[in-house]
Structure 1
Amino acid sequence: MMMDDVTLANNITVAEQRSVVCMIGTLRAVDLTYQNLIEKVIQPLNADLMFCVSRMTSEDETTINKFRSCNIVDICIYEEAGDGYQDFLHGFFNQLTPEKRTEWHKYFDIEGNWLGGIKGRRGSGFHLNFNYWKLLDRLRFKNIGSEYQRFVITRTDLFWMVEHPPLNLLDSNLIWIPTGENYNGYNDRHAVCSTQNVYDYLSLLEFMLNFKALEYIYNNLDENNLNHERHLKSHLDYCGVEVATFKNVAYLTGDKQTLTNWAPVKTKYVDRVEYAYKYQEELLSSLENMAQFAIHKSWNKMIFEGDRRSN
């Protein structure tokens, strides 16, 4: 194509791109967040909705029904979580040669929450990798991936103080994440991907299963310790994917009944308003950025594409 034709094609792609919000993990805090998620994320992005979550209770289907006003294109509630995903790993190990089993155990030699959820490790790193892998499989199996150009990968216990940044402001060549909560890696709470990079974002476990992760993972250790945020960064760096950020305007919430793998839910009064939160810095930064947004009335000064910041 001539240059003008390329430009026109890109403009058409931007104008007509379809988006889907992908809820992963478990259905936490939905009673507190569902209306907020609809009003601040799903509706402003004119997005369809899909769920790829592991079962928490027998009421999960009823919980999802709270989003009945949205266009739900797929629901996958899987039970493979089992006993710390040991059933899944047991089946995988049975297919390996003795040499490959020895090679796989190089992962277990690395301490840290990046494998949280298996072998008694604290945290949810392996849970999250498994969630990504299940979503990737679902996008392939249902051929959902071919229907959309943008994928908003998020969780149900995020409470948004400001409407999600418009996708036309977020370069589709980059993966977009909120600022903060990076722990020397990349914030793994929320991501905006595109057809160009959604596979890269979701393939952490796939790269472990095919042993490609051994090519880069040992280069990102901190005294033989690895967290999920650094694992995510090392993986995307290896894949050659650039990451940009927008100012965080959401925080993890819950109540006393909300199950958690790491931080418990706490409460705090800020300007005489009580907030239920899991991470104080995340809450305070979202409040600060909400105030900044109220001044600018625009996302243009709250996104950081040029310097690809992750802090």
Structure 2
Amino acid sequence: MWLKGALLTGGVGTVGTLAAELTCPAGPGGEACRAAAAPSWRSFERCAIPAGDDLGEPLLLTLAEAKDHCEAEEACLAFTFEGEDAESIEGPLSGNPVWVHFKTSFDCVDAPWVAWRKVGSVDSTAPGPPPASPQDLENARALSSFTGGAGSGVALCLLGQVRMLSHTHLALEQHLLQVLQPDVFLYGPREADHEPSPDLHSIQDYVADERWEVESIRDSLYAETRDSSRVLDLEYAQVQGNWFGSQCLDPPLRDNRPGSAVCSYYSQHKCLEMIQKKEIQRGQPYQWVVVSRFDFRWLAPHPPLELLQADVVWIPSGSDWEGGVNDRHAVMPRRHADAYLSSWKLLTSGRAKDVMLETLGAMKVNGYPGPNTENFLKARLHFFEVEYERFPNVAYLTCTLRSKSRWTQCFGTASNDAPGWLYKEEMEHATRIAKCVRSSWNRRKMKDCAEDISHLYRGLR
């Protein structure tokens, strides 16, 4: 079966099952795969599970032994032991055994104890995720009917500021579309129903589907998120950083956080839906999915697909802000697209914070300045065990003084309508590589033209 986990159509609302939901086949054929997914664990410091609901007597065990014991007992949902810190030198992570109390339910009261919860098992007291929509179920049935084969063709999602096409469309067509020959999918907002669709210039002939909606992403966010007040206004609001930027919403969320991350996640989700719909119509999956931006200014051709044959996500070099991974462009085999584009599903399922905690760690997630969108992408790739490679970048984000967002500045131009750049180091990096690549790629240039500028993004925002 070619497509794995196109939809979150059921299961319990836990992080431990999410990887199975997005990596096992949809429908009945994936039940055994999902059942075999090993549970994951989450620790809670200064948390004692109240007395009662004990699964037998306390046992003197190390942490690893306690997890194995609880995983072997279907009724075991958590365990707890006395101590101040889950990583204490005297605790079980040191290899020392402690008296462990196993529980059939999970609750937490403030006390000098540590609790571990099995978040990959069914907790009958926890509400399930929102039911799948009829359209989700129809898509799942249709997509699961595809068997075998690697697919054919390229699907390209173009996102971001469509108004920048007037400055970028010629280079975009020459250096990206003519190289990859993709079916292009476009999604974006419009102010009113009567507003005309944007001018697509020379990329119009490549468009397979476009959707311009009078949207209310804020309403969709609250409607689709289970227990939205707690998840959005409390749990997510406590995690700082532009990974949850909402100034693109009308009105923004309570903390008015800079950035447009929430809208970007929504656009990616909509684009994936359009790709799935097209695959059903054509009766065949795509072989590749590419995610890119309208406001990318291409200085040289994109690497051809024959140089990107490894079963990984290919990401351009540079822009790894705060230890994350460049989230502006990616080329991937179709089977990785659902994980790469899973941000909206993770957000609305209430699992985004837990995924980041599991992959980035508590210091990054709970500290200052918090995760950014690049960190969130890195977390998703690690969580779904998707490997990625880098190719030398030959494009940079362009802007004009007239066409820019309210949380960024535009440099390198003195005219309202002349193009400039958002990030000088990105522009200079792409310019140097483009001079090396010139008009064509080969395997040697993939290595010789590479340039590591990761040191420029450490400790910067």
TM-score by length of 2: 0.56
Q: Aligned residue for 2:312?
A: 174
1:35-46 correspondence to structure 2 within 5 Å: 35-46=170-181
Q: Aligned residue for 1:138?
A: 274
Shift in Å at residue 208 of structure 1?
A: 2.2
Q: 1:266 to 1:199 in 2, by over 3 A?
A: same
Match of 1:277 among 395, 401, 421: 421
On the 8 A contact 1:263/1:279 being kept in 2, the answer is no
> The residue matched to 1:241 in structure 2 has which SS?
coil
Between Structure 1 and Structure 2, how many residues are aligned?
Answer: 281
On the 8 A contact 2:313/2:388 being kept in 1, the answer is yes
Are residues 1:237 and 2:386 paired?
no
Q: CA RMSD in A?
A: 2.8
Letter in 2 for 1:25: G
Quote the Cα distance in structure 2 between the aligned partners of 1:277 and 1:292.
21
Letter in 1 for 2:392: K
On the 8 A contact 1:245/1:303 being kept in 2, the answer is no
Q: 1:159 to 1:126 in 2, by over 3 A?
A: same
Quote the Cα distance in structure 2 between the aligned partners of 1:178 and 1:262.
24
Q: Aligned residue for 1:247?
A: 392
Shift in Å at residue 106 of structure 1?
A: 1.1
Q: Aligned residue for 2:158?
A: 23
On the 8 A contact 2:154/2:289 being kept in 1, the answer is yes
On the 8 A contact 1:55/1:79 being kept in 2, the answer is yes
Shift in Å at residue 101 of structure 1?
A: 4.2
Quote the Cα distance in structure 2 between the aligned partners of 1:300 and 1:261.
41
Shift in Å at residue 261 of structure 1?
A: 4.9
Quote the Cα distance in structure 2 between the aligned partners of 1:299 and 1:122.
40
1:252-271 correspondence to structure 2 within 5 Å: 252-267=397-412
Structure 1 ranges of 4+ moved more than 4 A: 56-60
Q: Is 107-116 or 52-61 further displaced after alignment?
A: 52-61
Q: 1:60 to 1:198 in 2, by over 3 A?
A: farther
Unaligned runs of 5+ in 1: 1-11
On the 8 A contact 2:394/2:434 being kept in 1, the answer is yes
> The residue matched to 2:335 in structure 1 has which SS?
coil
On the 8 A contact 1:25/1:54 being kept in 2, the answer is no
Quote the Cα distance in structure 2 between the aligned partners of 1:287 and 1:310.
13
- Please give the per-residue CA displacement for 1:14-55, whole angstroms capped at 9, x wherever unaligned: xx8311222123303111111111111001112222212223
Letter in 2 for 1:90: Y
What is the percent sequence identity of the aligned residues?
A: 25
Q: Aligned residue for 1:227?
A: 372
Are residues 1:128 and 2:264 paired?
yes
Q: 1:215 to 1:235 in 2, by over 3 A?
A: same
Match of 1:77 among 204, 207, 212: 212
Shift in Å at residue 155 of structure 1?
A: 0.8
- Please give the per-residue CA displacement for 1:138-162, whole angstroms capped at 9, x wherever unaligned: 2234436944111111111101111
Q: Aligned residue for 1:195?
A: 334
Q: 1:111 to 1:213 in 2, by over 3 A?
A: same
Letter in 1 for 2:326: N
Match of 1:161 among 265, 288, 299: 299
Q: 1:79 to 1:194 in 2, by over 3 A?
A: farther
Unaligned runs of 5+ in 2: 1-148, 247-251, 455-461
Quote the Cα distance in structure 2 between the aligned partners of 1:210 and 1:147.
26
